[in-house]
Structure 1
Amino acid sequence: MVNWSTLDTVFLDMDGTLLDLHFDSHFWLEHLPKRYAEQYNLHPQQAKETLIAMIMAERGSLNWYCTDYWSERLSVDINQLKAEVSDRIGYRPHVPDFLATLRRSGLRSVIVTNCHPDPLALKLSRTGLDKHVDAIISSHELGKPKEDPDFWRDLGRKIAYRQQHTLMVDDSFPVLESARRAGIGQCLAILEPDSKQAPNPQHPDIPGIRHFDEVMPALRLHQALPSK
């Protein structure tokens, strides 16, 4: 599923890959509509339908992920509202063990996320995730989301990497397809990003796993092999 012996860099998505997507799903689909309804004296269902329509219109763009954009657009403090439910932020199964094994293997681990820097800081403060990887890059630093084909070129100017010796792990099929078109050597899909939702179907061309324990045996074997 993953040929670890050809790799020197592992790019990792954060939300839905390392962290449980339930936090974000709950926030955008439940908590924000509730608080928006309270602020504007709307029926909760009306608020939810209005917000979902607005959000879906931005899907795939950087605005989709930008808390500054949504705070201004909705006249609410998105970061404050996220902090209200930050107790829901947490790791997906087997992630700490996977990251520790990845580090012991000598492979470079880099979080490559569409998360805006403000909620990113909140998530790092709750999890300490930054202590377990070598670097973190937000797409907001590059001015374009991972879905953009030019993202991967610009990422190379931020952090040098060899495309054919890089693995991208993400729960978003559009992101993985974008990475593959950009020449990333290997891609791996996370099929169960949200602990409260059913797994996603398998992609026809990109291998997928539900949890990292499925690739841990091969990674440990790679770790145990003598250096070339």
Structure 2
Amino acid sequence: MLNWSEIDTVLLDMDGTLLDLHFDNYFWLEVIPREYAKKYQVALDEARQVIADKYEAVMGQLSWYCLDYWQKELDLPIMALKREIQHLIILRDDTLPFLEFLKANNKRIILLTNAHPNSLSLKVELTKFDRYFDRLISTHDFGYSKEQQALWHAVQADLEFDPARTLFVDDSVSVLRSAKQYGITHLLAIANPDSKKPVNEITEFLAIADYHQVMST
């Protein structure tokens, strides 16, 4: 499914790609509306609608992923609330075997996440997956999200990767489209980012539900 002899660098998303997206979905879709309703004394359904509208307004922008932005916008203790459910932060079952496979095949492994640095730090603290990586990059360091072409130019200037010999793995079709637009040759979609939800049907990109499907040379 992938010709590993044509790949030197592997850029990996984090949430939904290495980690079970259930934590993030539960946090943003359940915990935040609940806490908003409690703080502002509104019905939960009303809180859900307000929050959904706020999400929609900045979707795809760096603000959507920025914990500082949401703490200010909602006046809620975002990191403290994340800590309350941190037991839900877990690696996908197939993540470590895949990272070990990449290491064994001498690939340059880079984490490229839209997650805020504080969120990245928390997840590294709890899962210790960082030991497999050559670099951990939050797009906040560059001021752009992966949905924006400026991010890819900035990351390429920093890492000096060859787009033709790079694999990018993500669970977001819109982000994969952005990577394709930039010119990254090898693209892989994760079809089952949230263990509590059905597998997504993705036809636009090579898509898998288990890394073992591509772990052969």
TM-score range, shorter chain: over 0.9
Structure 1, unaligned stretches of length 5 or more? 223-228
Q: Deviations over 1:133-166 (max 9, x none)?
A: 1111111011000010121110012222111000
TM-score normalised by the chain length of structure 2: 0.97
Counterpart for residue 209 of structure 1: 208
Aligned-partner SS, 1:168? strand
Alpha-carbon separation, structure 1, partners of 2:82 and 2:44: 18
Amino acid at match of 1:56: E
TM-score by length of 1: 0.93
Q: 1:212 is aligned with what amino acid?
A: Y
Cα offset, 1:39, TM superposition:
1.4
**Structure 1 partner of 2:20:** 20
What is the deviation of 1:119? 0.8
Kept in 2: contact 1:168–1:188 (CA 8 A): yes
Distance 1:75 1:94 in 2: 37
Per the TM alignment, residue 101 of structure 1 is displaced from its structure 2 partner at its CA by 1.2
1:16-165 to structure 2, matched below 5 A, reads 16-165=16-165
Q: Distance in 1 between matches of 2:35 and 2:122?
A: 19
Q: Deviations over 1:21-40 (max 9, x none)?
A: 00000000101111111111
Alpha-carbon distance, 1:203 to partner: 2.6
Following the alignment from structure 1 to structure 2, what is the Cα–Cα distance between the partners of residues 110 and 167? Answer: 10
Secondary structure, counterpart of 2:111 in structure 1: strand
Q: Which residue is 1:197 aligned to?
A: 197
Contact 1:167 1:186 (8 Å CA) reproduced: yes
SS at match of 1:106: coil
- Indicate the larger mover: 8-17 or 37-46: 37-46
Q: Does 1:10 find its partner at 2:13?
A: no
Tell me which stretches of 4 or more aligned residues in structure 1 moved more than 3 Å. none
- Whole-angstrom CA distance in 1 between matches of 2:71 and 2:147: 23
CA–CA distance in structure 2, aligned partners of residues 57 and 201 of structure 1:
26
Residue of structure 1 in register with 2:176 after alignment: 176
Provide the rounded CA distance (Å) in 2 between the counterparts of 1:154 and 1:203.
29
**Take 1:150 and 1:180, find their aligned partners in 2: how far apart are those partners?**
14
Secondary structure of the equivalent of 1:151?
helix
